[in-house]
Amino acid sequence: MTGSSDERDGVAAVTGGPSWPIAMYRAALFLCLWLVLAGADPADIPAAAAAIAAATWTSLCLLEPGNSRRSLPAIARLALLFLYHSIVAGIDVAGRALNPRLPLHPGFVAYPTRLPRGLRQNVFTTLTSLLPGTVPAGEENGQIIYHCLDVTQPIVADLAAEEAALVRALYND
């Protein structure tokens, strides 16, 4: 066998040819981010170029180009689903906090994710940690353990819907 292990697995190495379009795409995104954060000042061109080059190189090292296809409509649906769940859960948490009887049923729920360990599972737990009422608390036997304010709610079904939306949006392999 010849070549790096990345090339044998069908993924181009960072210095390989097929990653150039991806590198240029990421550099363009970092340029847009720079323009949003710092504005368009010609005096900033050297700093912007250095920052964009470093960010692009780092992103290619940490998040190698893959075969996943992103779906803009699915990403929009994921964002709307996240917004909806955030509003509903926020109202629920606020109602529980303001209720003197505190109708809480805290506990832990195990969620059997279909996502592989690593980056995909980390993205999922990060997304779900932003929703009020549930916090990823660890992993046990391949399941993600969530601490919840009310275990009587349909938490597993909600997590499954979030996971399905995330897979459609980002990991449409």
Per-residue confidence (pLDDT) for residue 2, from 0 to 100: 41
CA–CA gap between residue 60 and residue 78 (Å, rounded):
25
pLDDT classification of 66: cutoffs 50, 70, 90: low
CA–CA gap between residue 117 and residue 79 (Å, rounded):
23
CA–CA gap between residue 127 and residue 159 (Å, rounded):
10
Give residue-wise pLDDT tens across range 146-158.
Answer: 999 888 888 899 8
Residue range 70-77: average pLDDT?
Answer: 80
pLDDT classification of 9: cutoffs 50, 70, 90: very low
Residue range 99-104: average pLDDT?
Answer: 76
Report which secondary-structure segment, H or E, holds 26.
helix 19-38
Residue 116 is given by DSSP the state P
pLDDT classification of 107: cutoffs 50, 70, 90: very high
Note the pTM of the prediction, 2 decimals. 0.58
